Structure 1
Amino acid sequence: MEKRRIVVGLSGGVDSAVAALRLKEQGHDVVGIFMKNWEDDDEGCTAEDDHRDARLVADTVGIPFYTFNFVKEYWDHVFQHFLQEYGRGYTPNPDILCNKEIKFKCFLEKALELDADCIATGHYARVRFHDGHYQLLKGVDPNKDQSYFLYTLGQRALSKAVFPLGELHKTQVRELAKSAGLPNWDRKDSTGICFIGERKFKDFLQGYLGTKPGDIEDPAGNVVGRHDGLMYHTIGQRQGLGIGGPGDPWYVVGKDTDRNVLLAAQGKNHPLLFAPALSMSSLTTCSERPLALPHRCAAKIRYRQQDQACTLVAGAGEGQWNLVFDEPQRAVSPKQSAVLYDGDVCLGGGIIDQPLAEVPAELAERVERVPTR
């Protein structure tokens, strides 16, 4: 194997630690970098602990360790967008934008300035060169595959990306960390959004967005409760609505952002929770080649969802696309990502604009022409 200079993003967690360990054991020239993306003077932020653990890992593995400060870049290119969309009542995924704008742009460019051949992270994903271009593949552990969060990576980023954990299962990663004596081998995996830390999500957001109370209406337009802000609720949510009374539990089935009204209905499988299709925009492909339309593929509309058979077709306007599913999908959430797959290969994805309550006849006709593979 060719020896390369590889800069590894050390987060303080066990995954990135084992990524660095494996590369070091393979004989590469490995440098550990901690990315400081958030000011850690707020109560509940774990950045200081993360930095300490990352440094301990670097010392144990025996690699140089440095810190890159991307606080301004993160605020400008990730957090501001996050706040803007939440302020409009939507719930975007900041981790996807962080990978695009920080880890595989700012971090990559900085690493290349240090004469790195490539960068590595602890993501459970794979990259291969096939048919003249780089492909992003799912990680082999179906419970940890993180290709969903990486779908925006284009050819340049993929050509410089190494994912040492792509062929491993999480249990193997823990075992490798323990046997190597890594100090964080049993550290609990982080969950949620990185900059919120141990704080409650709603409490954190209220510090920036405050509250924007409004009515909760049932499908008939009756007011059944009140909400503190559309941004604090997600499609399909059951907990925290504060609606009592007889019958089945209440679920969020939609948002009327123009009227600041949260829409709720009773029953986990209420028809309003399901959509046969969705509209999407900002479509990107990992190959940077346009997909021939209509295109038969599979999609995930949330992380860890099973692949859902669907057809990608052109939308009504420029820069618009539609996904028509073989089976109606539950809780389609605007501003989340729909990520496309062909087996293990991630094709790319886009931003969900809205669910479609029905498939227009002209759209259905185009879908029917596409043979099922």
Structure 2
Amino acid sequence: MTVMGSDPSTGSHKRVIVGLSGGVDSAVAAHRLLEQGHEVEALFMKNWEEDDRAGYCAAAQDLADARTVAERLGIRLHTVNFATEYWDRVFAEFLSEYRAMRTPNPDVLCNREIKFAAFLDHALGLGADAIATGHYARVTHDDRGSHLALCQDGEKDQTYFLHLLDQAQLARSLFPLHDLTKIEVRTIARAIGLANAEKKDSTGICFIGERRFRDFLAQYLPREPGPIETLEGVILGEHQGLAYYTIGQRQGLGVGGVTSGREAPWYVAAKDAERNRLILVQDSHHPRLMSRGLSGLPPHWIAGRAPDLPLRCQARLRHRQPLQACEVLNADDLGCQVRFLEPQRAVTPGQSIVFYRDGVCLGGAVIDQGWSASGQ
């Protein structure tokens, strides 16, 4: 990744390019930067070549909203198409993970590869000192480097999705919403007359849009039906392909009304790739859904170096999960092992475990597999 221009952590006024998505968060981020006296421009990124006939992605409307915001704020709006970069750096790995029966998180990769790499390089090429986004996170700087920290709004904190950023990226990044709640952001947007003040937050993955996830994935991964079974081997139904399901999933299993001696919801507990079986259990905290620890891929440390191990810290296994006490037993180029103080539910291969200490995000790792709390 190219790094150029002056250090944004020094000096009071900078030339900043904001990633303007069309949503209220990035719009208020741009407004706050203007209030702080920065020279502000904006960039709208198109990251997916959607089927315009289907209307699944709202890229055209988002661009129109971004233009309206830029006009209201009196800032220049650049546009760029990163669809090729997104396909090569994010979507290809997304599909590869699903083929391997894991459940990836494309937002994590998108932040590392697109929003804080391709965007950052493009912005620096336009003469920016720094970039800014509407993410709910905090970045601080000291003589040890740049640090990613929790924001004011614990419900909206997005450090989980940003844990793959490195020192060069954080040194050039600003998060103007770090001390605001979502309610305060919308209040500011209304006060300054932004047309998107009440716009709903985007949810899910843009390239899937309003489609059923399974229908979208089927365009790229063939359906490979097989039996849905209990732990005891009782057949409950037929799945459409193991790649379409994730550990802990309850909805969309197609076994509604099927009982196994008692009335209770079913949950995905395991995928048996060798026999193409989907294994379900009843009870959201069934022993087969609980893990006392996990093995992960080699971790990424935001500081650029591993902390002293073993490391007692906290972790999240998913966005918005309350921080959980854990211990990183070891971590090297071969992977990592983590033990939890309390067993964790639905530890999902392909998702990320993200580590925290004293309110600072240390980094994280992709989950390989959980260690069953039942010992099975």
TM tier relative to shorter chain:
over 0.9
Match of 2:267 in 1: 251
Contact 1:57 1:183 in 2 (8 A): yes
Match of 1:264 in 2: 280
TM-superposed deviation, 1:25 = 1.7
Listed as ranges, the matches of 1:199-218 within 5 Å are 199-218=211-230
Displaced runs of 4+ in structure 1, greater than 3 A? Answer: none
Distance in 2, matches of 1:318 and 1:180, equals 50
Does 2:313 align with 1:297?
yes
Q: 238, 255, 275: which one pairs with 2:291?
A: 275
Does 2:51 align with 1:41?
yes
Distance in 2, matches of 1:196 and 1:68, equals 21
Q: 6, 26, 49: which one pairs with 2:36?
A: 26
Q: 225, 231, 246: which one pairs with 2:237?
A: 225
- Give the AA of the match of 1:175: T
Match of 2:342 in 1: 327
Match of 2:326 in 1: 310
Match of 1:357 in 2: 372
Q: 112, 115, 118: which one pairs with 2:124?
A: 112
Does 2:104 align with 1:70?
no
Contact 2:298 2:333 in 1 (8 A): no
> Which consecutive unaligned segments of at least 5 residues does structure 2 have?
1-10
Match of 1:85 in 2: 97
Does 2:351 align with 1:336?
yes
- Give the AA of the match of 2:218: Q
Q: 173, 185, 200: which one pairs with 1:173?
A: 185
Match of 2:107 in 1: 95
Distance in 1, matches of 2:85 and 2:187, equals 36
> SS of the counterpart of 1:195?
coil
More helix by share: 1
Distance in 2, matches of 1:359 and 1:290, equals 31
Match of 2:4 in 1: none
Tell me whether 79-88 or 325-334 shows the greater mean CA deviation. Answer: 79-88
Root mean square deviation of aligned Cα: 1.5
- Give the AA of the match of 1:323: V
TM-superposed deviation, 1:359 = 10
- Give the AA of the match of 2:122: K
Q: 190, 196, 202: which one pairs with 2:208?
A: 196
Distance in 1, matches of 2:334 and 2:127, equals 38
Match of 2:7 in 1: none
Contact 2:265 2:283 in 1 (8 A): yes
Contact 2:317 2:353 in 1 (8 A): yes
For residues 318-349 of structure 1, the C-alpha deviation after alignment (integer angstroms, 9 at most, x for no partner) is 52211100000000000100000002100000
TM-superposed deviation, 1:68 = 1.2
Report percent identity of matched pairs: 52
Figure out how many residues of one structure are paired with residues of the other and give that number: 359
> SS of the counterpart of 1:164?
coil
Distance in 2, matches of 1:306 and 1:97, equals 22
Q: Normalised by the size of structure 1, how large is the TM-score? A: 0.93
Q: Normalised by the size of structure 2, how large is the TM-score? A: 0.92
> SS of the counterpart of 2:270?
strand
TM-superposed deviation, 1:273 = 0.6
For residues 172-224 of structure 1, the C-alpha deviation after alignment (integer angstroms, 9 at most, x for no partner) is 00000011111100000000112112222122111222311111121123322
Match of 1:3 in 2: 13
